[in-house]
Amino acid sequence: MHSNGKKTSKVNIIVADDHPVVALGISKMLENAPDFHLVASTATISDLFDVLKELPCDVLICDYSFEDDDEPDGLLLLDRLLRTYPKLKIILLTAHDDLVILQRAMQSGVSGFLSKVSSEFSVLPQVIRRVLDGERFVDSTTSKILIKNMLENNMHAPTLSAVALTARELEVVRLFSKGMSVTDIAQCTDRSVKTISTQKKKAMTKLGAHNDVELLNAFKQLF
């Protein structure tokens, strides 16, 4: 964790990403924006919440997935952030154009969605300003994919079924696809094994999966 606690009237920004190269790149981009103040950069979820407790933050630039982190990431992290800090502007970073995740994230109250492979990632300061002006920002790469799927109306059945998944069910499937067992997921999310098992079974039913292999295949079709 790197932080700078200087008082300032500028827009206070915190970056949370477990990839040092990404955090460094964002830091370099913000250096050329005199109205922005990079308050801190964190690489873990626990550090992120420690920083948010201690330092001011107007905009959080946050990765969606934190590999090998002990704390729940993804949609559960977004829900936790927005429950604790409802006025916080969050720009979500992702390395994928995940349509279901985009929909869920926007429903949760995220202010911006920016793919790391989008050309607009290089103009992050402008994206931040648009979010501060009250816009709900989605990068053009992701927008084109959304529009294409809407026009063609040819989304795979699992994707349509995934819309019916709750945020917790979707996270259980995502964590399961990363190789975590039901017990592992229960420990990670601080829920009972019975609850996780029930959510997994409900997700399988909604996705039309009859076993673990079919569940993993359905998830791969989603993302």
Structure confidence at residue 156 (pLDDT): 47
Share of the chain above pLDDT 70, in %: 82
Q: Which long-range contacts (CB under 8 A, 24 or more apart) does 141-150 make?
A: 141/97, 141/115, 141/117, 142/97, 142/102, 142/113, 142/115, 142/118, 145/97, 145/99, 146/99, 146/102, 149/99
Nearest in space to 78 (alpha carbons), one of 69, 95, 67, 91? 91
pTM reported for the whole predicted model:
0.67
Average pLDDT of the segment spanning 56-80? 88
Spatial CB neighbours of 130, under 8 Å, sequence gap ≥ 6: 112, 137
Work out whether the CA dihedral 218, 198, 109, 39 comes out positive or negative. negative
* 152-195 residue pLDDT tens: 555 444 454 455 677 788 889 888 988 889 999 998 888 899 99
Give the tokens for residue 205: 């039913």
Cβ–Cβ under 8 Å, residues 58 and 14: no
Decide yes or no: CATH 1.10.10.10 for domain 157-222. Answer: yes
In the CATH hierarchy, which fold is given to the domain comprising 2-149?
Rossmann fold (3.40.50)
Structure confidence at residue 131 (pLDDT): 92
- For residues 96 and 67, what is the distance between their CA atoms, to the nearest angstrom? 15
* 6-52 residue pLDDT tens: 554 789 999 999 888 888 888 888 888 888 999 999 999 999 999 99
Q: What is the DSSP letter of 43?
A: S
Q: Which long-range contacts (CB under 8 A, 24 or more apart) does 1-6 make?
A: 1/40, 1/41, 1/42, 1/43, 1/44, 1/47, 1/50, 1/51, 2/40, 2/41, 3/39, 3/40, 3/41, 3/51, 3/55, 4/37, 4/38, 4/39, 4/40, 5/39, 5/54, 5/55, 6/37
Average pLDDT of the segment spanning 123-146? 83
Q: Is 147 exposed, middle or buried (0-12, 13-18, 19+ CB in 10 A)?
A: exposed
Give the C-alpha distances (Å, rounded to integers) separating 182 from 86, 126, 196, 198, 199: 31, 42, 6, 10, 10
At 212, the amino acid letter reads D
Q: Give domain limits for the chain.
A: 2-149, 157-222
Cβ–Cβ under 8 Å, residues 80 and 88: no
Residue the block writes with tokens 């502007």: 89
